Structure 1
Amino acid sequence: MCECRCPDETNQTRYRSAAGTTRLIRLGILGDPVDESLSPRIHACAFMHRSREGVYERHQTTIANVGFTLKRLQQSHLGLNVTAPLKTEVLDYCHGVSALAAQLGAANTLVAKKEGWWAENTDATGLLNVLGGAQSLRGQTVAVLGAGGAARAVVWALEGAGCEEIRIHCRSQRSFSILNDRSLTRKASLQWRPWGDVKDPVDLVINSTPLGRHEPLPIELRSPRIIDLNYRPHMTTELCRQSRSIGLIAQDGRALLLEQALLAQQLWFGDLPVGLRDAMTQPLMK
């Protein structure tokens, strides 16, 4: 039985196994805000598929309180997902950090170890999977909106996909310089472009900013394909609606959310049982 209770009542989504004899597994998401996250429902379906008793909780936490919250949850939780605006801040409170998370300066998945939290970044690998894998965009030109923490993972994924040119559209050249310094592989030409100047045709546009979720973006999109890293629980993002209205192929962040969730399950449990992907896809189709 899968119990999906209202966040206002219990702030958690729980699966109780029929036997009810195994130790309760606790997972959760850390961020601000977290009230619209679909992660609790996705991982509740994973518990059901694994026949494991578990609970996935929302932990709305400010930057000022993230250290205290992580210390409090370390003894009770197997793992955590991390969302904005805490992906960079959590690194200061982790005992170990993967090479990729260190390179990107951000983590979105934590695993509880005896010594403390272990930090990993599945944003980059997850997006590479969404794009189609290594060399799937060979020779293409991609415009990335934004130069924040999410854009670091986007650039890593685009380089892995074989992009020839990546245009970073942001308001500050300083933000671009920081992003450029994080791009250590130098597999693609990284260029700065002013925010809103997306008039030159590209093969793909990826929105890594929070904008476009509830409101249209006041920019001209000249690309056959749009990927918006944002998502809304029960409807498409405004950017996707805006793009589809002019005949573009648009995809919101649900596909990336699924890939991130599967990679997190692998880190937490050490395996991905047959059928788990299909089970975890169900909440994204409602």
Structure 2
Amino acid sequence: MRVDTRAGVDRPRPRRQHAHRAAVLGYPVDQSLYPVMHRAAYTAMGLEWTYTAVECEEPGLEQLIGSLDGSWAGLSLGMPLKRAALPLIDEVSDLAMDVGGVNTVVFRDGRSYGENTDVHGFLAALHEADVHALGSAVILGGGTAACSALAAVRELGVKEPAVVVREPSRAAEAHAAAGRLGMAVDVYSFGQLDSLLHGAGLVISTLPAGAADSYAAAIVHSRAAIFDVVYSAFPTRLAKAAGFAGSTVVDGLTLLTYQAARQVQLMTGREDVPVRAMREAAQAELARRAG
């Protein structure tokens, strides 16, 4: 089921054109890996499409979306546009509404459709690492990425995940998303982390690069699988420690690749999305930046 977010609103329908354009919107957006990944996919799929990075802040989002003609197939959205886009799109998927953010907009037959591919990215990355079912999970951080992580662990059987934040106010977004997802969620401080880790099947860190480093020893000692969403400064100390200890480690680049691959699938309508080519393009770009 989709939620029609703009019921009763009449909009002029653009003249039908061949859709061949897409872009990532955000501010700042110059460090996004989406352009190299999408372009790699288009090349491998034999599509003469263009994909650009467009700087856009929240106040200008509605005007930008309204200005796009029928040559546009879709948009990728970064924060804070993921939430701001919700009321601007004709139809939004239930999952995107529950999570509280749209990271993908698809244009079709004069209407816009909002999706969330972040959850797909989490699940696909975990499945690739052979993590398929869980009894418990600990999520570090309470923002937008944590909301998608909640939806993902729900699909893996976790009924009451623990969310760990520095201050309870930082968990408001995750708490609201959990309610929409029909989950019970317990919020803890980092001072309580050690007790939460006993028996945890998975620890997902949605924290910025380096923010989880001081907790690495305790997390690794739990022997849980580790999912660190960082990709630009990977491996983090947490990921290195987990790897040395023999724990399953899932990285943010794998998450990002599957997010982007699902976007390409939605925008093109094709199933033959070259995930490997997209991942290799992103790895090459990260190496270029580092070098």
Q: Give TM-score scaled by structure 2 length.
A: 0.77
Task: List per-residue Cα deviations over 1:75-129 (Å, max 9, x = no partner).
Answer: 5421111122221111122122111111111011111234443110111122122
User: Gaps (5+ residues) in structure 1?
Assistant: 1-22
- Give SS of 2:145's match: helix
Give the superposition deviation at 1:235. 5.0
Give the superposition deviation at 1:268. 0.8
Q: Which has the higher contact order (CA 8 A, sep 6+)?
A: 2
Give the superposition deviation at 1:272. 1.5
Match of 2:134 in 1: 138
Q: Aligned residues, how many?
A: 259
User: Gaps (5+ residues) in structure 2?
Assistant: 1-17, 285-291
Instruction: State the one-letter code of the partner of 1:205.
Output: V
Q: Give TM-score scaled by structure 1 length.
A: 0.79
Of the candidates 30, 38, 55, which is equivalent to residue 50 of structure 2? 55
Superposed, 1:217-232 pairs within 5 Å as 217-219=213-215, 220-221=218-219, 222-224=221-223, 225-232=225-232
Match of 1:11 in 2: none
Q: Is the 8 A contact 2:144 2:173 kept in 1?
A: no
Mapped to 1, the partners of 2:241 and 2:28 lie a distance apart of 25
Match of 2:15 in 1: none
Match of 1:207 in 2: 205
Q: Is the 8 A contact 2:140 2:205 kept in 1?
A: yes
- Give SS of 1:199's match: helix
Instruction: State the one-letter code of the partner of 1:263.
Output: R
Q: Is the 8 A contact 2:140 2:203 kept in 1?
A: yes
Give the superposition deviation at 1:70. 2.3
Q: Is the 8 A contact 2:125 2:250 kept in 1?
A: no
Is 1:193 paired with 2:184?
no
Task: List per-residue Cα deviations over 1:199-249 (Å, max 9, x = no partner).
Answer: 13222211123x2x25663334244332122211x8534553465466654
Match of 1:181 in 2: 176
Match of 2:89 in 1: 94
Task: List per-residue Cα deviations over 1:241-260 (Å, max 9, x = no partner).
Answer: 46546665433211111211
Q: CA RMSD in A?
A: 2.9
Superposed, 1:12-161 pairs within 5 Å as 25-132=20-127, 136-139=132-135, 141-161=136-156
- Identity across aligned pairs (percent)? 26
Match of 1:272 in 2: 271
Q: Is the 8 A contact 1:265 1:272 kept in 2?
A: no
More helix by share: 2
Task: List per-residue Cα deviations over 1:127-146 (Å, max 9, x = no partner).
Answer: 1222229992232x211111
